[in-house]
Structure formats: structure tokens, C-alpha cells
């Protein structure tokens, strides 16, 4: 039984929303970020990059968090942001040149996270958890929802379709040619319908935002300990999420780039691979795998097709069947000597939304010796692993939509 709750979002006014909302801070190149901060006084980037106001980019975390809070208050005082009077759900649609996403922004339960109603598929770094918890504690808000997914549901789909027939509160486009729309659900009957439908859903899966959700839970736990009147209904017991049906998720793979062959020559490396894979030289023409347990490899000017020899590899659980895990167990660890795939400097990852050409270009540049590509993980594979109580290796999935910051803000 999943608990969802309406909340009073702090939002940009309709006339400024296109100027306020931003992509995640770390997506911007340095020059683009500088331009946004210089020419757009309403950008949410001014809040999360507050040192710009003082021409000071290098500040401590504590200083930055306090300044973030101050800039946020300024946006509220200047009426760039206003808070809704009534608790609401928010239907948010994003349409790109290749995909369309439409789901519900809501407050989701910390209790559900601890009770495994909300399930994760990736591990988190405790250092990052503590950093973001400290950020939330000092700023008092979260402006970027966790992306959760659920099995497609006709009742929720009907409610969303009814609202999409009405005029949206927000309708705007961004320079990357994406269009954004948001509808406010504050009708009590519709709110109760949404709550009731989600109560019948047994599991929500975290698609993106593992550190945000874990940090929110740590914050709730610590605040509750300090609150003698804790009831479990306070805002800090929930975190903002974007709930999207699983059929609308776009899942891409990450390519792997390796800086050296662990002391092996090209021929020696191919011989080592032959123990696990049937190897076909595909020449210089771009090759992409066509089925699971196949990999593309670019090495020494040629593409190769690697097909797993199933007699040489044992499937023991859902994780062992995952292509990223197969590559780790057969190549990265035993042959290339990469023990820690999260932190080893010899391996670099890049999400693959294109035709895979970077597998060739980055190796040809001399920066890497070999690269590997694979098919994306399916939602069913993800769920099977999660439901088995297992976690995926780092950089297994790149999931969209990526959400803009500052459209709806959740205060603790």
C-alpha cells in the first residue's frame, strides 16, 4: 500500500516560470552556467549557486547552504515564488523531440521507504547522503523530485487525461525544444481518488534520485528524534516525488571506457576474452548488440561483437543475468583488474542516447584503449533485481525523464 499525499507547493508565478525553472546544476557547461546567471535574474540557478552574487564561486558547503536559504527567501519576498493555499497534487507533462512523459508530483512517505514499499535499485554513498541531508536541513526545502515508477494504472490514467483537457497552469517551452505543462489538482474528490488508487499499489520503484530519497529519510529520522511532539504527519516525514507509469520511462545504457589493457597486448587481451565470448571482428563499421548477453567492443581501430559463451558463465540469480554484471564478472574484474567499478580511475562511463559512435571516437582520440557497449536494461529486469533484494552495479541505467528544478518546491 503506497502512501501519497498532496502538499502546498511553492511555485513560480505563471509569468515567470519559464525563466525560473532550470536543469540540474551539474548538467550545465561552465560558459552556459555563467551566461544563465549573468542574463537571467529569475533563474533558479541563482538560488543553488548563491556565491555568484558576491563574485565568489569557491565557498564552503555550510556557507553555500545558508546562502541558498537566503536567496530562496529573496525569491519568495520578491513574489517570484508563491505558495499554494491548499494541499494539491500536480500533474506534470514533459514532451521532448522523441518522448512524452506525464505523471503526478506528490509527497511520498519516508515510512514507505523504510518498509520497502518504495524500493531502490542502486546503492548510495554515505558521504553524499550526509551532504544532501545537511543541505536539506539548512535550506528547508527540496526543489527536485525523486523519480518513482509504478505499474501502469487505468484509474490514474483516466484522472490525468481529464485534467489534460483543461487549460494548464503552466505551458512553456525551453531552448532544448522541450515543452512543459503543469496542472493543479486541488479538487478534494480527485485528491481522494488519487490517494485511494495508490493505496492499492503495493510497490513504487525509485528510477532516479536514490541519494535524494535516502537523505530525506535521514533528515526525517533526525528531526523526529529532536521533536517531542512528533506525530508522523509533519512535512519532514515525506519527500517530493514525481510518480510516472513504468511504460513511460526511457531507459538507456552506459558505455564503458577503459584507459589501459592491464599490461596485456591487444592479441593477449583478445585471447583472454575468448574464454568467455565468441568474438567476431566487425571492422570499422559501427556495431551495436542485437540481444541480451551480447556486447559491442571497440579496440585498436575495429568494432567487435562479443557473444557470451553460456557454458563459461553461471547464472545464479537475477543480478548475474544483468549484462553490466556479466561484463564486470568476465572482463572488468578478472582481465582488466578493475575491482572497484565505482571509484577506479581506469574506468569512465558515459550515458548512450546516441548511435554509439562515441565508442569509436573516444578510443581513437587516444584517451582510452578499449570501450564496451550493451543493450539497455529493461524495466522488468530492474524490477526483478529489486524484488529479489539485490542492487544493480553503478552506472547500469540512465533513466529519463530528467526533471527541471524549481517548478514545484517542497518545504519541510
CATH number for position 277: 3.30.1760
User: Does residue 233 have a pLDDT over 70?
Assistant: yes
Characterise 389 by phi-psi region: left (phi > 0), alpha (psi -120 to 50), beta (else): left
If you average pLDDT over residues 294-305, what whole number do you get? 98
- Residue 225 domain flag: yes
Nearest to 344 by CA among 277, 273, 395, 293: 395
Confidence band, pLDDT 50/70/90 cuts, at residue 263: very high
Model confidence over 80-107: pLDDT tens digits?
Answer: 999 999 999 999 999 999 999 999 999 9
Q: Which residues of 60-76 are buried (b: 16+ CB within 10 A; e: fewer)?
A: eeeebbebbbebbeebe
Q: Based on the number of CB atoms within 10 Å of its own CB, is 173 exposed (0-12), middle (13-18) or buried (19 or more)?
A: exposed
Say if 185 falls within a structural domain. yes
**Do 162 and 276 fall into the same domain?**
no
Provide, for the chain, the percentages of residues in helix, strand and coil under a 3-state DSSP scheme, each rounded to the nearest 5. Answer: 35, 25, 40
Predicted pLDDT of residue 25 = 83
- What's the CA gap between 325 and 381, in Å, rounded? 12
Q: What distances in angstroms separate CA 271 from CA 267, 268, 279, one per listed residue?
A: 6, 5, 10
CB 152 within 8 A of CB 247: yes
Residue 260, phi then psi, degrees to nearest 5: -150, 170
pLDDT at 234 over 80: yes
Confidence of residue 179 (pLDDT cuts 50, 70, 90): very high
For residue 261, is pLDDT > 70?
Answer: yes
In this structure, the answer to whether residues 368 and 287 fall within a common structural domain is yes
395 found inside a domain: no
- Tell me the residue range of the domain where 281 lies: 252-376
**Residue 403: closest CA among 143, 203, 153:** 143
Question: What residues have CB less than 8 Å from 35, skipping those under 6 apart?
Answer: none
Claim to verify: residue 212 and residue 238 sit in the same structural domain: yes
pLDDT of residue 105: 98
* Same-domain check for residues 51 and 133: yes
Q: What per-residue confidence (pLDDT) applies to 55?
A: 62
- CA 282, CA 397: separation in Å to the nearest integer? 26
Structural domain tally of the chain? 2
189: CB partners within 8 A, 6+ apart: none
Q: Which three cell numbers stand for residue 316?
A: 545464479
Task: Verify that 325 and 232 share a domain, yes or no.
Answer: no
Residues written for the chain: 412
CA separation for the pair 260, 367 (Å, rounded): 9
pLDDT band for 52, please (50, 70, 90 cuts).
low
Q: Is residue 388 part of a domain?
A: no
Which run of H or of E encompasses 141? strand 141-142
244 and 110 together in one domain:
yes
- Domain match, 242 and 309 both: no
Alpha helices in 209-265, H assignment, sequence order: 210-226
Rounded percentage of the chain residues whose pLDDT exceeds 70: 98
Report pTM: 0.94
- Based on the domain organization, do 62 and 209 belong to the same domain? yes
Which of 210, 241, 225 lies closest to 144, judged by CA? 241
Residue 242 shares a structural domain with residue 327: no
Average pLDDT over residues 299-318: 96
**Beta bridge pairs of residue 92:** 103, 182
Distance of CA 77 to the CA centre of its chain: 31
Express each pLDDT in 339-390 by its tens digit.
999 889 999 999 877 667 999 999 999 999 999 999 999 999 999 999 999 9
The rounded distance, in Å, linking the Cα atoms of 410 and 136 is 11
283 forms beta bridges with 303
C-alpha cell at 135: 543541505
* Burial readout 323-357 (b: 16 or more C-beta within 10 A, e: otherwise): bbbbbbbbbbeebbebeebeeeebbbbbebeeebe
| Distance, CA of 336 to chain centre | 29
Q: How far apart are CA 16 and CA 13, in angstroms?
A: 6
Query: Does the residue 385 lie in any domain?
Result: no
Has residue 386 been placed in a domain?
A: no
User: Can you give the pLDDT at residue 57?
Assistant: 61
pLDDT band at 60 (very low <50, low <70, confident <90, very high): confident
pLDDT exceeds 70 at position 56? no
Closest CA to 139 of 75, 62, 65, 83: 65
Looking at the domain assignment, is residue 389 inside a domain? no
Q: Is 237 inside a domain boundary?
A: yes
Does residue 171 share a domain with residue 46?
yes
* Lowest-confidence pick of 45-54, 125-134, 345-354: 45-54
Domain match, 347 and 370 both: yes
User: Same structural domain for residues 197 and 311?
Assistant: no
Per-residue pLDDT tens over the stretch 377-391: 999 999 999 999 999
Mean pLDDT, the chain, as a whole number?
95
Amino acid at each position: 500500500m503506497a502512501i501519497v499525499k498532496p502538499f502546498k507547493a511553492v511555485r513560480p508565478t505563471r509569468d515567470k516560470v519559464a525563466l525560473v525553472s532550470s536543469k540540474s546544476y551539474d548538467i550545465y557547461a561552465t560558459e552556459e552556467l555563467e551566461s544563465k546567471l549573468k542574463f537571467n535574474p529569475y533563474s533558479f540557478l541563482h538560488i543553488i549557486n548563491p556565491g555568484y552574487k558576491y563574485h565568489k564561486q569557491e565557498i564552503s558547503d555550510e556557507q553555500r547552504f545558508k546562502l541558498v536559504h537566503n536567496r530562496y527567501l529573496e525569491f519568495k519576498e520578491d513574489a517570484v515564488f508563491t505558495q499554494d493555499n491548499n494541499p494539491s497534487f500536480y500533474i506534470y507533462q514533459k514532451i521532448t523531440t522523441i518522448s512524452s512523459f506525464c505523471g503526478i508530483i506528490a509527497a511520498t512517505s519516508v515510512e514507505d521507504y523504510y518498509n520497502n514499499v518504495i524500493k531502490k535499485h542502486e546503492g548510495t554513498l554515505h558521504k553524499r547522503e550526509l551532504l544532501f541531508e545537511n543541505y536539506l536541513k539548512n535550506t528547508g526545502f527540496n526543489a527536485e523530485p525523486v523519480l518513482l515508477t509504478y505499474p501502469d494504472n487505468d484509474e490514474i490514467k483516466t484522472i490525468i487525461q481529464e485534467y489534460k483537457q483543461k487549460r494548464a497552469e503552466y505551458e512553456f517551452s525551453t531552448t532544448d525544444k522541450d515543452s512543459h505543462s503543469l496542472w493543479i489538482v486541488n479538487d478534494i474528490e480527485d485528491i481522494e481518488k488519487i490517494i485511494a488508487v495508490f493505496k492499492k499499489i503495493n510497490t513504487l520503484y525509485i528510477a532516479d534520485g536514490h541519494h535524494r530519497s535516502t537523505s530525506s529519510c535521514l533528515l526525517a529520522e533526525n528531526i523526529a528524534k529532536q521533536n517531542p511532539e512528533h506525530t508522523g504527519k509533519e512535512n519532514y516525514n515525506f519527500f517530493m516525488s514525481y510518480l510516472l507509469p513504468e511504460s513511460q520511462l526511457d531507459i538507456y545504457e552506459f558505455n564503458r571506457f577503459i584507459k589501459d589493457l592491464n599490461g596485456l597486448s591487444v592479441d593477449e587481451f583478445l585471447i583472454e576474452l575468448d574464454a568467455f565470448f565468441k568474438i567476431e571482428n566487425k571492422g570499422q563499421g559501427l556495431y551495436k548488440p542485437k540481444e541480451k548477453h551480447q556486447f559491442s567492443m571497440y579496440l585498436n581501430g575495429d568494432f567487435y561483437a562479443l557473444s557470451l559463451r553460456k557454458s563459461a558463465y553461471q547464472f545464479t540469480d537475477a543480478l548475474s543475468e544483468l549484462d553490466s554484471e556479466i561484463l564486470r564478472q568476465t572482463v572488468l574484474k578478472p582481465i582488466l583488474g578493475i575491482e572497484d567499478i565505482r571509484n577506479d580511475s581506469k574506468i569512465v562511463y558515459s550515458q548512450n542516447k546516441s548511435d554509439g559512435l562515441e565508442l569509436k571516437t573516444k578510443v581513437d582520440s587516444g584517451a582510452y584503449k578499449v570501450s564496451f557497449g550493451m543493450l539497455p536494461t529493461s524495466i522488468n529486469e530492474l524490477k526483478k533485481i529489486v524484488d529479489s533484494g539485490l542492487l544493480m552495479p553503478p552506472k547500469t541505467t540512465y533513466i529519463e525523464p530528467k526533471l527541471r528544478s524549481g517548478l514545484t518546491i517542497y518545504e519541510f
